[in-house]
Structure 1
Amino acid sequence: MHSTIYWCVLRMGLFHLKREEYMSETYLVHDKKGQGDIAIIGMDSHFPDASNLHEFWENIMAKKDSLTDITTVSEIEYWSKEDFYDPDASAADKTYGHKAGFVPAIDFDPVEFKIPPAIVDSISTVQLFSLYVAKQAMQDAGLIGQKNQRVNRDRIGVILGGGGNGNTLFSLAGRQQTPYLRKIMIKSGLPEAVVDEVIDRVHDSCFEWNEDCLPGFLGNVACGRIASYFDLGGTSYMVDAACASSLAAIKAAIGELNSGSCDAVLTGGVNLENSAFSFVCFSKTPALSKSNLSRPFDRDSDGIMLGDGVGMLVLKRLEDAELDGDNIYAVIKSLEASSDGKAKSIFAPRYEGQVKALKRAYARAGLTPADIQLVEAHGTGTATGDNTELKSLRMVFDEHKVAAKSVAIGSIKSQIGHTRSAAGAASMIKATLALHHKVLPPTINVTQPGEMLSGDNGPFYVNSEPRPWLRPLNAAPRRAALSAFGFGGTNFHAILEEYEREPRGAYRLHGPVVTLLFSGENPEQLLAKCEVALARFGRASSAGQALREHLAHQDLNGLQPHQARLLFVATSGTQAAEIMASGSKTVEAKE
């Protein structure tokens, strides 16, 4: 099958590669493939009121509402309220929205990114912000800087979700309207000199066409600039799945890793489209909140609020991340998708389609909804969207008889608005940080939960305050699920799991100490429980395993302070068994 010379035909002629070069790391698709777990080894973000990952998490914990009035935004030029705002929803070419999630400006040094300063104005904010955040995410993952040799750069890919072209396209499009303006003014009888002066002023207010304009506004070039700057040779492209774009990109990235085509992928989403055009579009749909409030799952929620943002994650196969000693925030167990198929409207969400994505995700992960403690919902704030999502969640979770009020539900959109192409990335970063910090994060602006959440028997509750995320009683890992849905009926659902690295060597002078409590209504019941536990502890290799075994098998009554009690600490499974045996003898003697 393999000959000594591989001949390839190119437009410019012929060239040949020696067999050993063709089979090198650069060209070979690795045999490391399958459907294994994916590690999140690096992240960074730039969301409203948050220039980095730390500020984003701090704002979540502080329950900060990061939506602001357009008149207060001065860091980045958006649009003038006096030009486009009208509280009358029926006003032509106007928007009744005036608040959104606006991102802070960045201190972008074009020289650092090898971009000539003279052409920066021709490059869209989508590309500039993407470069900036990509660098922080790559640094967080240890793929640049001192540890940058851990992965062959030819095998690192860039796949982002995006759906807009940024700020430069609108300016260039405005410039293209001047011939029509000229005709209108001339037909209106304005003097030629006045017409020329007006056209000149329009041109002066717009970007000027040059050779850098076309690549400067193309969304896909954002991925190309990142790959070029970091000299990455893996797969590079942008995905558009509307408001599910970033989860679509992450799914594609997982595919690259599982196929063996890439060893690491920078992925996520970018959205910088809080333009007047976007506001008018969503006002005329009409999906924009008339109250200018983002309150998913609240009884009085009346629509979405727009938000800008960039969120990026660096992914690796879990086994590779462990071998490389990477910092692992969390593990992606599965990310599955579906389409709504045929429905009354291609724009209306369909719960049957969403259910397919959910069921596929749990089947792929080998889990059930009963294994989930947190759902970071798509939760846009529209009545139709939220109710459809809750209906699909209830159908799947109720099918598995998930305990009442056992799953926290929330939406990051309550704090930063709907970041559209970056929405899935924002949700995944929030859920990942929740697992990493072992905290159930709050959702805000829910005064009275909607009808589907206000009952007593449903599995979900709105988590309005940050709370410690206690490990499930069966000692299973903490797990979260998240969704993103897009116009056109595209649905995605992901399942994440906390990561707890097993120590590879001694890192303490002594083993960790754990506390074990046994309780019975009388000495006989206590002794019976001790006898059952003794056998388990004798097989445990560590105190941690002994504790997990104990928690996995005890019933809730074992935690009650009954009259007969045995409490002790241990540093190993063997020590736990020895103390248990000694304690049992003491109980017998006292009988």
Structure 2
Amino acid sequence: MEFEPIAIVGRGCVLPDALDPDTFWDNIAAGRTSLSAAPDGDRWRLPRRLAMGTVGDHLDRTWTDAGGYVRGFESVFDPGGFRIAPERILSLDPLFHWVMYGVRQALTEAGREGPLPRAGLVLGNLSYPTPTGAVYAEHVWLSAQQPALRDALLTGERRRRPDARNRFSSGLPARLAARALGLGAGAWSLDAACASSLYAVKLACDRLHDGTADLMVAGAVSRADPLYLHVGFCGLSATSRTGRSRPFHRDADGLVHGEGAGFVALMRLSDARAAGLPVLGVIRGVGLSNDGRGAGLISP
């Protein structure tokens, strides 16, 4: 059975050194590398000396802090203009903000604004703890301790418990983004590990092919607690010892963590042409896979 091609009519992203798709493309064309050491501040929530180990000694520690980190997003994000009160948005982890921002970018480039009763969202979302989710869990645990320990550790800003909605960082971001942008054809999240974005695109195309939607946004987000990723993947010996991610290269020695979000707005090609929309790309098929044939969990 042949399916109608699907047109890409909009793009949106929040990525290291690129808070919009054109900047991301410029970085690729210029061969820029957006890896760096972990930003100063509270991204790791403990002194670096306690987190850093070596390749030979990394029990509950990491041998590297290299990664792709998003910076400057707060300067471009406007919580207004959504169908959710700004104060309700700002109490959520930035993962939620990245999804709302990136989906809105893609819809804006496609010339589509809500309410959109025949539009939906499929979000690939690695279900790791977010920084705010980790702080929430920490607060719950410390609150149950003896007063002396509780009061010694829950001081200053740490006395305030984060918004409880941050517990639901897997499925809720898609649902809230759809509500905030007036997408009426449904929204959900999936976790297919490194193939999550491909599955999101495929399932979004299915919605367009079966006629249950006329516009779909597909994409993925990753904003896990960076120390959780570094320690966990060093424990799996999956993190690159050279700080370089080179899939399928003969000298590949592991992955390098990154964070960000990316989205495409999709329509049936005939509908996009009828609406006079610029067609940025055409999808005629989607390849799906995750993990490899080897015994290793992260073998390509």
What band does the TM-score fall into relative to the shorter chain? 0.7 to 0.9
Q: Check whether the contact 1:123–1:216 (CA below 8 A) recurs between aligned residues.
A: no
**1:222-243 deviation line (CA, Å, top 9, x unaligned):** 1122211221211210111011
- CA displacement at 1:206 relative to structure 2: 6.2
**1:450-509 deviation line (CA, Å, top 9, x unaligned):** xxxxxxxxxxxxxxxxxxxxxxxxxxxxxxxxxxxxxxxxxxxxxxxxxxxxxxxxxxxx
Q: For residues 215 and 291 of structure 1, do their structure 2 counterparts lie closer, same or farther at Cα, with a shift above 3 Å needed?
A: closer
> 1:166 — aligned with what?
130
What stretches of structure 1 of length at least 5 have no aligned partner? Answer: 1-32, 183-191, 350-383, 386-591
- CA displacement at 1:308 relative to structure 2: 0.5
Distance 1:200 1:156 in 2: 44
- CA displacement at 1:295 relative to structure 2: 3.2
> 1:122 — aligned with what?
91
What does 1:534-545 correspond to in 2, within 5 Å?
Answer: none
- CA displacement at 1:331 relative to structure 2: 0.5
Report the RMSD for the aligned CA atoms in angstroms. Answer: 2.7
> 1:135 — aligned with what?
104
Higher strand share: 1
Residue 55 in structure 1 maps to residue 62 in structure 2: no
Distance 2:78 2:68 in 1: 24
- CA displacement at 1:344 relative to structure 2: 7.0
> 1:585 — aligned with what?
none
Q: For residues 216 and 34 of structure 1, do their structure 2 counterparts lie closer, same or farther at Cα, with a shift above 3 Å needed?
A: farther
Residue 279 in structure 1 maps to residue 230 in structure 2: yes
> 2:3 — aligned with what?
35
Distance 1:91 1:180 in 2: 30
Aligned sequence identity (%) = 29
Q: For residues 276 and 252 of structure 1, do their structure 2 counterparts lie closer, same or farther at Cα, with a shift above 3 Å needed?
A: same
Q: For residues 198 and 154 of structure 1, do their structure 2 counterparts lie closer, same or farther at Cα, with a shift above 3 Å needed?
A: same
> 1:186 — aligned with what?
none
> 1:23 — aligned with what?
none
- CA displacement at 1:109 relative to structure 2: 2.6
Q: For residues 44 and 205 of structure 1, do their structure 2 counterparts lie closer, same or farther at Cα, with a shift above 3 Å needed?
A: same
- CA displacement at 1:117 relative to structure 2: 4.8
Q: For residues 263 and 117 of structure 1, do their structure 2 counterparts lie closer, same or farther at Cα, with a shift above 3 Å needed?
A: closer
Distance 2:78 2:54 in 1: 40
Residue 197 in structure 1 maps to residue 151 in structure 2: yes
What stretches of structure 2 of length at least 5 have no aligned partner? Answer: none
Letter in 2 for 1:167: P
What does 1:570-581 correspond to in 2, within 5 Å?
Answer: none
Which structure has more RCO (C-alpha within 8 Å, separation ≥ 6)?
2
- CA displacement at 1:175 relative to structure 2: 1.4
Letter in 2 for 1:262: A
> 1:102 — aligned with what?
69
- CA displacement at 1:338 relative to structure 2: 5.3
- CA displacement at 1:297 relative to structure 2: 4.4
Q: For residues 116 and 233 of structure 1, do their structure 2 counterparts lie closer, same or farther at Cα, with a shift above 3 Å needed?
A: closer
Q: What is the number of residues matched between the two proteins?
A: 295
Letter in 1 for 2:32: K
**1:299-349 deviation line (CA, Å, top 9, x unaligned):** 4321110001110000011111111111101100101435779x774x546
Q: Check whether the contact 1:89–1:283 (CA below 8 A) recurs between aligned residues.
A: no
Instruction: Report the 3-state secondary structure (helix = DSSP H, G, I; strand = E; otherwise coil) of the residue aligned with 1:86.
Output: coil
Residue 255 in structure 1 maps to residue 209 in structure 2: no
Q: Check whether the contact 2:136–2:161 (CA below 8 A) recurs between aligned residues.
A: yes
> 1:78 — aligned with what?
43
Residue 177 in structure 1 maps to residue 141 in structure 2: yes
> 1:568 — aligned with what?
none
Q: Check whether the contact 1:102–1:274 (CA below 8 A) recurs between aligned residues.
A: no
What does 1:300-339 correspond to in 2, within 5 Å?
Answer: 300-337=251-288
What does 1:559-578 correspond to in 2, within 5 Å?
Answer: none
Q: For residues 206 and 240 of structure 1, do their structure 2 counterparts lie closer, same or farther at Cα, with a shift above 3 Å needed?
A: farther
Distance 1:132 1:229 in 2: 10
User: TM-score with structure 2 length normalisation?
Assistant: 0.88
Q: For residues 258 and 204 of structure 1, do their structure 2 counterparts lie closer, same or farther at Cα, with a shift above 3 Å needed?
A: same
Letter in 2 for 1:39: A
What does 1:350-369 correspond to in 2, within 5 Å?
Answer: none
Q: Check whether the contact 2:110–2:265 (CA below 8 A) recurs between aligned residues.
A: yes
Larger radius of gyration: 1
**1:413-467 deviation line (CA, Å, top 9, x unaligned):** xxxxxxxxxxxxxxxxxxxxxxxxxxxxxxxxxxxxxxxxxxxxxxxxxxxxxxx
- CA displacement at 1:62 relative to structure 2: 0.7
> 2:191 — aligned with what?
240
